[in-house]
Amino acid sequence: MMRHLLKVGLLLAGLLSLPALADEKPVLRSQVMTLSDIVTVGDFYSNAGLLASKPLFRSPDMGTSGNVPADVVAERARAAGLETAGTDGLRTVVVFRGATRLNRDQLAGLARKALADRNAGIDAERLDIRLLQAPDQVLADPKVHDPIRIDRVEWSQSNGRFTIHAAVAVEFGTEPLTLTGVATEMVDVLVLVQPVRRGDIVREEDLNIIREARTKVPAGALTEMEDIVGKQARTTLRANSPLSRNDVQRPILIERGEKITVTYVMPGMKLTSRAQAMDTGAKGDVIDVMNLQSRRIVPATITSRGQVRVHAANPIVASLNSEKN
């Protein structure tokens, strides 16, 4: 009885081990991706076990691919010790060798960062880069963390021309790389989307932000909306031209020669009188006003359109033709 149970147990153990053995059979891949200069048994075959690191072929050049006959791969794998290696129905295996690829836009970004890093006060995001001499693409060793090393930067900010000397990490060491071009520092400025007539109030919807070369932007050009929205145009302003503080002013509330109301406020009493403005001004400005009856001229502060307030210490109170409210 015991012998019979032992036979049954061995039979079951053998049956259970069949799927595991089947899973461990090496299987040839139809495509291989590698970063190394050598393609190994384990690159070509899954379940290669201890033979996985055995070299079989040299890899294609970085960033390229090549085709290998499946029967040649199987033959070399068997010669390396993987006795059950086969073609698994494949005729060809494609081998891709990876590379770090940098196109012209990425090279321009590299130049932008290099120039900003070596010039205090320059914001990389505000540098416009135009490459004059640069490859369309650079292939670098993907195993290297920083594939391009900047060695020397030359930049003339008077004309914007630069030359960057660098080194590219490749399969065996480095290769020189030279980038030349023009770098222009840009600034964001406010412009009008359409002309604004003299005396009109500038609204937020009248404005747009454009990026211009710093050398073309006049000193004092406005960059913040709050510096101009709600202000009044001193002259007719053109569209698409940088704006300055001198282009606008606070809205004029009183014109010279205008008949206005003068208010004198004191505790428990408010006196008003009519006067003539001797100056033009905006809210908060202090202008001279002339009382229409006494002809006395005193300074007053503009409070709103056609309204001014006389400072409490002013002697105008005695001469105002006023009424008590």
Where do the domains of the chain lie, and which CATH numbers do they carry?
Answer: 2-97 (no CATH), 101-186 (no CATH), 189-249 (3.90.1210.10), 253-319 (2.30.30.760)
Percentage of the chain modeled with pLDDT above 90: 69
The amino acid occupying position 38 is I
- How many Å is the Cα radius of gyration of the chain? 42
Percentage of the chain modeled with pLDDT above 70: 88
Q: What is the pLDDT of residues 136-167, one digit of tens each?
A: 999 999 988 889 999 999 999 889 999 999 99
- DSSP strand pairing (259-266 vs 307-310): parallel
The owner of tokens 């009382």 is 291
User: Smallest Cα–Cα separation from 71: which of 95, 54, 93, 52?
Assistant: 93
Residue 120: pLDDT band (50, 70, 90) is confident
More confident residue, 158 or 276: 276
pLDDT number for residue 206: 93
DSSP string for 153-217: EEE-TTT-EEEEEEEEEETTEEEEEEEEEEEEEEEEEEEESS-B-TTPBP-GGGEEEEEEEGGGS
294, two tokens? 């006494």
91, two tokens? 């005729």
pTM score above 0.75: no
- Here the contacts of 219-224 (C-beta below 8 Å, separation 24 or greater) are 220/244, 220/245, 220/246, 221/187, 221/189, 221/190, 222/189, 222/190, 223/187, 223/188, 223/189, 223/190, 224/190
Helix (H, G, I), strand (E, B) or coil at 39: strand
The owner of tokens 């503009």 is 302
Cα 264 from Cα 83, distance rounded (Å): 110
Cα 22 from Cα 47, distance rounded (Å): 10
Cα 39 from Cα 36, distance rounded (Å): 7
**What sign has the CA pseudo-torsion 86, 89, 95, 96?**
negative
39, two tokens? 């393609």
Residue 17: pLDDT band (50, 70, 90) is very low
pLDDT number for residue 3: 53
Cα 162 from Cα 114, distance rounded (Å): 11
For 130, how many CA atoms within 13 A lie in the half-sphere containing its CB?
A: 7
User: Smallest Cα–Cα separation from 247: which of 263, 227, 272?
Assistant: 227
DSSP string for 250-305: SPEEE-TT-EEEEEEEETTEEEEEEEEESS-EETT-EEEEEETTT--EEEEEEEET
Lowest mean pLDDT among 115-119, 226-230, 234-238, 263-267: 263-267
The amino acid occupying position 236 is T
Cα 235 from Cα 19, distance rounded (Å): 90
